[in-house]
Amino acid sequence: MIPNKNIQENILRIKGLMLISEQDETLSNIEKITKQIEDRIRNIFNNYCSLKNNRIVSNNPSLNNMSWEDYVKKFNVDNWEIDMIKKHDCSKTFRMINFLPDLPTTLRNKFLTLRKMETLEKINPSLKTIFLKIQKEFGERLNLAPMGGLRNLEQNKSEGGATKSSHLTGHAIDIYLETPDQSKIKRLIDIASANGILGIGVYSDAQNLHLDIDASKGRRAYGSGYSSKGIPSWAKQEIQRHLSR
């Protein structure tokens, strides 16, 4: 785990990287920075959730049986990090996307912006073009979820992706709204469908939207559990229009 002070240093590095053109070396740096931040939050979350009688249960001998107080002191865990971790359900698998709303504004905004730059460089070029058209027509900056673009098998598994996910070939993206908004999700469905998106995943949280151009799977839509039965009732009209095109 990285010391907390490195996060502050990385925020400064991120600000500097925003002035650099999008080239491979820059994208590599972006990935290193965001991975450091994500790893830190994941480690804090997992160790907090492992607590038994206020002591950490871990396969790492240096952490096993360490008190929570000693852990906080050793790794310089800030109060905002503790408050953020405590808000999340330990029974659920860690997903960075669920923690983004609780990150400090500066860090969250840079994290989302840089992750978007990285994601767009790695997805299928046709999908990138369509995404930029959707964003322009929507009229607002659209955020892409962490791991919301091209994934390898390990990343796809950690994100709970389908076995034959379109993310594995770079033909899918996941859009993320910072606050739930059914009207925005419904509008995005209509815009995306009109611009060539084939697969749409819409969820009851009204905060995440899956879009893909995977022609091998055709025009389709699903909700929770990768099933059409999981499509929320508030989005069924837009989904029906999509399927009828």
pLDDT of residue 10: 54
Higher pLDDT pick, 85 / 22: 85
> What is the end-to-end Cα distance of the chain in Å, rounded?
50
Residues 176-198, mean pLDDT to the nearest whole number: 95
pLDDT of residue 221: 97
Phi, psi of 200 (to 5 degrees): -130, 130
pLDDT of residue 28: 66
Q: Which of 32-36, 59-63, 122-126 has the lowest mean pLDDT?
A: 32-36
Strand blocks (E) in the chain: 143-144, 172-176, 199-202, 208-212, 220-222
pLDDT in tens, 102-152: 888 767 766 776 767 767 888 999 999 999 999 999 999 888 887 788 898
What are the residues whose beta carbons fall under 8 Å from the beta carbon of 15, sequence distance 6 or more?
A: 110
Residues 202-212, mean pLDDT to the nearest whole number: 95
Q: Average pLDDT of the chain?
A: 85
Phi, psi of 104 (to 5 degrees): -55, 140
pLDDT of residue 229: 94
Percentage with pLDDT > 70 across the chain = 84
Residues 163-183, mean pLDDT to the nearest whole number: 92
Supply the pTM of this predicted model.
0.60
Parse the chain into domains and list their residue ranges: 4-105, 124-243
pLDDT of residue 20: 35
Phi, psi of 222 (to 5 degrees): -155, 170
pLDDT of residue 241: 97
Second CATH level (architecture) for the domain 124-243:
2-Layer Sandwich (3.30)
pLDDT in tens, 70-84: 999 999 998 889 999
CA-nearest of 124, 96, 123, 98 to 36 is: 96
